[in-house]
Structure 1
Amino acid sequence: MTQTGVRVERQPLSRYTTLGVGGEAEIWFVETLDQLREAVSAPYRILGGGSNLVVADEGVPERVIRLCGPLAKADLEPDPQLSTAGDIVTGWVGGGTPLPGLLRKLQGLGLSNLEGTVGIPAQVGGAVWMNAGTRFGEMFGGLHSLELVTPQGTRTVTPDELDWGYRNSGIPRGEIVSRVRLRLRASTPPDVQARMTLADDARKGQPKMKTPGCAFKNPQGVAGKGAGRLIDEAGLKGTRCGQAMISPEHANFIVNLGGATAADVHGLLDIIRRQVPVPLELEYELWP
């Protein structure tokens, strides 16, 4: 029995990843900051929406923390003390809040700034951690402040205090995004929907099968060539390793054909690294 009553279960992580692979781990379903502080008192990993993640077939030895309950809810009421004429600052949004549902609520309220993250199957904490987004916008474009939890305590920071950039939040490893406040602009539901549709239409060529998302970051300084085009030019679309495949639709996506293993995915990543002439930086997080 834990001190704070947090629910703990041993389950396969394949149930919680968009790729659908991963062995067993001890999962802590954390609902409060007190429970989170207890959870981080031993070696741990934080599990968001399970996208952008490849978990080893053997699982992981650390406890795995999943934010839920109050830490997966959003207070979108404007904070009158922090909001200004140009910016609407919300109450706290839990790190375990599903991003797609949050975007639907913001659209209904006519609140703008996060439309560029449409279609990303993540929780807020994970999306903030990697500064997820598209060419139409990213998470840090709509953040006012972040609450971060570590075994040493809790601190609140602003984006200006972090060295964030493309697919990088600058949050030190080992710190968990427990909650954030959003910085939004007043708009109208139709206008927000139009911007979401524009960003979503640009994603139509992406595969609909089980996938962790983009495998590699777009290399900087390679004019007009993202990672997907470079992998495609290497002739790797459709390449298979076991039941994992480089998507024929978009070469920067690895998909699970059914029954794929983490070892299959690692095999494809190795093939890409060997055959693409430009060094590529991995966008996936690999456990362990």
Structure 2
Amino acid sequence: MTALLSRTGARVERLPLARYTTLGVGGEAEVWTVQDHAQLLEAMEAPYRILGGGSNLVIADQGVPERVIRLAGQFAATDLTPDPHLSTSDQIVTGWVGGGVPLPGLLRKLQRLGLGNLEGTVGIPAQLGGAIWMNAGTRYGETFDGLHTLEIVTPEGARQVTPDELPWTYRSSGIPRNHIVTRARLNLRPSTPETVLDRMQAADVARKGQPKNRTPGCAFKNPTLEDGQKVSAGLLIDRAGLKGMQAGQARIAPEHGNFIVNLGGATATDVHALLQLIRERVPVPLELEYELWP
């Protein structure tokens, strides 16, 4: 389909969503690429979904009926200039960073500037808005560690909130599904490039055992047992003897049981079959970390 322009100038085209996901599966949808608030509000006039970096996401083989919105333009801009009114000797509050900014590139810029608080998210192939929405992170830290103010847009318009105004928890921001994180101001810790790099490398070393095939990331959240102890979902899947199990061209990774990988040509149906198998075989209830469309 040839790209069209909406009345506000948004780019509209029908595209296979698999190309925008780290797993590499998903059917077609009408994709709106928006550059500013006017285009975004127009895109939100019909049922919609928001697509960031495409990690943590399994899209149905038939695609989705809703519009799919991707952030560009001012929503992909980065302003790391310290705010002189909010920054101190031990806290840097930046200008606005767009929700469509890729997290890996943002972390590299912060490292070169010697700014910490987000090192624990190293290796997560998300855009900032998506990372905020699910409070993405690792054992070394999470996205909400480094946030000062968020801009959230709904069909009614934009509003600004602070993390204290949200019910955020482990792997959740508390932001409703139909709300889009368009920009954020970061709350960072002054350090040195060398120190920030050391912290990033320490977090990255812990990820070396993760699979190299295409994957959405961790499939399930680490559950909390009845005694209050949090246990690794990957360990539970390993103990159930499921590593290496395969459905079509999707496989439970031999390297780490909480990852499902695409061996090449996997479908969403294959992935769903493995998710169901895990839930049947693991004796502890598991909550999905993946987003499933539709």
Contact kept? 2:56, 2:217, Cα under 8 Å: yes
Residue 228 of structure 1 is matched in structure 2 by: 234
Matched, 1:15 2:19: yes
How far apart are residue 180 of structure 1 and its match? 0.3
Residue 176 of structure 2 is matched in structure 1 by: 172
Residue 80 of structure 1 is matched in structure 2 by: 84
Contact kept? 2:224, 2:231, Cα under 8 Å: no
How far apart are residue 225 of structure 1 and its match? 2.9
Give the letter aligned to residue 123 of structure 1: Q
Out of 122, 125, 133, the position equivalent to 1:118 is: 122
How far apart are residue 21 of structure 1 and its match? 0.2
Mean Cα deviation higher: 25-34 or 53-62? 25-34
Q: Percent identity?
A: 73
Give the TM-score normalised by the residue count of structure 2: 0.96
Task: In structure 1, list runs of 5 or more residues that go unmatched.
Answer: none
Residue 254 of structure 2 is matched in structure 1 by: 248
How far apart are residue 108 of structure 1 and its match? 0.3
How far apart are residue 223 of structure 1 and its match? 3.7
Aligned Cα root-mean-square deviation (Å): 0.9
Residue 107 of structure 2 is matched in structure 1 by: 103
Q: Deviations over 1:52-87 (max 9, x none)?
A: 000000000000000012211210000112222321
Mean Cα deviation higher: 25-34 or 95-104? 25-34
Give the TM-score normalised by the residue count of structure 1: 0.98
Contact kept? 2:222, 2:230, Cα under 8 Å: no
Partner Cα distance (2:162, 2:101) in 1: 20
Partner Cα distance (1:74, 1:224) in 2: 36
Out of 277, 280, 286, the position equivalent to 1:280 is: 286
How far apart are residue 224 of structure 1 and its match? 6.3
Q: Deviations over 1:153-190 (max 9, x none)?
A: 11000000000010000112210000000000110000
Partner Cα distance (2:212, 2:13) in 1: 30
Residue 270 of structure 1 is matched in structure 2 by: 276
Residue 57 of structure 1 is matched in structure 2 by: 61
Partner Cα distance (1:123, 1:142) in 2: 15
Q: Deviations over 1:186-206 (max 9, x none)?
A: 100000000000000000000
Residue 239 of structure 1 is matched in structure 2 by: 245
